Amino acid sequence: MEKNKNAQIKIQETAFVLLAIALLAILIFIFYSKFQVGKLQSEIQTINQETAKSMLEKIAAMPELACSGFGNEQVLCIDKDKASILSKEQGYEKFWQNVARIELVPIYPESPRITIYAGKEGNATYSTFINLCSQKADVWSCAIGKVLISV
């Protein structure tokens, strides 16, 4: 009877040791998973920043928005009239799929914002300065503005 009791105690000790090792492995896995999730979130944020920066460059150089007949085609400017028309177009949703919102904000002289695309709410907003110009007859009038992109 004494041998059976000692054998049962040894089996219970082994079971508790195995349980403790399993719990330790689970805790290590949980901490490792949290670390990896944090790393992935920072990578996602970096990718979103790079996407927004490249979109700022693309928007400034888009032929659909660029000033044409300005005289000096090297000057980066956005035609406000073209932007107003593009803001009403529906065919660009696939082009803006990585972006939540795109706005043109005239700074000086002040005038109403032009929302080119308004999708979902964005987490972060990036901007760059640009010339916002409009043409009346053969005369161009330009304003200092910003392109805002939310991702």
Best CA proximity match to 133, nearest among 91, 71, 89: 71
Count how many residues are written for the chain: 151
Which alpha helices (H) appear in the chain, and where do they start and end? 2-61, 80-88
pTM of the model: 0.70
Is residue 55 within 8 Å of residue 98, measured between CB atoms? yes
Q: How confident is the model at residue 72 (pLDDT cuts 50, 70, 90)?
A: low
Unique residue bearing structure tokens 């044409």: 68
Unique residue bearing structure tokens 């670390």: 35
- Has residue 95 got a pLDDT over 90? no
- Has residue 91 got a pLDDT over 90? no
